[in-house]
Structure 1
Amino acid sequence: MKRDERDAGFAAYVTARRPRLYRTAFLVCGDPHEAEDLVQTALAKLYVAWPRVIAVGQVDAYVRKVIVNAHLDEVRRPHRRRERSTRDELLDRVAQAPVALEETDELWQALRGLSPGQRVVVVLRHYWGLSVNETAETLSISPGTVKSQTSDALERLRSALEQPLLTKRG
């Protein structure tokens, strides 16, 4: 593959997929600056591996795995964590959703209440629409772990999201 062809293919992929990659990174980490860093890390690694990855045809899977692994590495290194943005800064950066702002805020607070592993599983399963096996492969864990993490996460989300509704009604 010639360098011009390689660069053109890579540029086309980035142009088409960058917004979705950013949204994935943001959902996983909850910080707009860290999300940008995660996407940049993933795209730098993708560029180096582009000929191999494109030959296999699993570009999205490769980039998702890099984003998730980079985030989990960051979570495991508390000395490297940056001060998180305030809630208002986060809401300013989030794309407009078809739900009311207070519902978006409640959903985001519920997602932040999940462990990093549970949040990643929810994002991969329900935002990316990956199967249990695809999620397990991406995270290098067993399908049973994906199922239990998903079940626990959804139960925690249901509980967190029902509580504000009960408070508002009652």
Structure 2
Amino acid sequence: MMHSVTSGTNAPAFEEYADSVWPSLYRSAYLLTANHADAEDIAQQTLLKAYRSWSRIIRSDSPDAYVRRMLTNTFLSVRRPKRRRLELLTDAPPEYGAAQRPHGPEDRLTLWPHVKALPPRQRAVIVLRYYEDLSEQEIADILGCSRGNVKSTAHRALKVLRAALDPERTDGRENHHEW
């Protein structure tokens, strides 16, 4: 995977790390971008940045959290032209992490097109919270914002998702689903 750029003394350790983290990194990138090609680009960019900062990353308390933050920041900073690739709206996301939310395959297929349509920051919060099962504080650390900001962003995103899934319920009352 990284053979052409890895040549230092840390190269074997990094290659082992990159190979082990790739499936999770790619899954997160796809959930953020909703596009396979963009997900691969962002995941690869993240690994390249991680390789360049590898000596700092391995000294951190949590290398995985460090790399996840790099991935999220890369996603949020990429400003691509508005070229959209056609993908089926029922394209299911890659397999979920520990959270396994929403619960069944039908729920995932119903919800996924609406998650894909969220603005990037809202999508990032929803993906990190409900697909990757991170705490609000972990998300705040990744996004470089306050826990309150994460909560309000999640609230706005969930409100949009609830309205999309239940358009008849527009009376302003909260419809508390377990996501």
The two structures have a TM-score, normalised by structure 2, of 0.75
1:121 paired with 2:125, answer yes
Structure 1 segments, 4+ long, off by >4 Å, are: none
The two structures have a TM-score, normalised by structure 1, of 0.78
1:156 paired with 2:157, answer no
1:19 aligned residue:
23
2:143 aligned residue:
139
Point out the more displaced range, 133-142 or 154-163: 154-163
Q: Give the length in aligned residue pairs.
A: 156
Structure 1's 147 and 24: CA in aligned 2 closer, same or farther, altered over 3 A?
same
Q: Extract unaligned runs of 5+ from structure 1.
A: 165-170
Equivalent-residue separation in structure 1 for 2:76 and 2:29 (angstroms): 11
1:37 paired with 2:41, answer yes
Structure 1's 135 and 104: CA in aligned 2 closer, same or farther, altered over 3 A?
closer
Equivalent-residue separation in structure 1 for 2:95 and 2:143 (angstroms): 29
Q: Is the 8 A contact 1:124 1:130 kept in 2?
A: yes
Q: Is the 8 A contact 2:32 2:120 kept in 1?
A: yes
Structure 1's 148 and 94: CA in aligned 2 closer, same or farther, altered over 3 A?
closer
Bigger fraction of residues in helix = 1
Q: CA RMSD in A?
A: 2.6
Paired residue secondary structure (1:86): coil
Q: Is the 8 A contact 2:32 2:75 kept in 1?
A: yes
Structure 1's 51 and 96: CA in aligned 2 closer, same or farther, altered over 3 A?
closer
1:10 paired with 2:14, answer yes
The amino acid of 1:132's aligned partner reads E
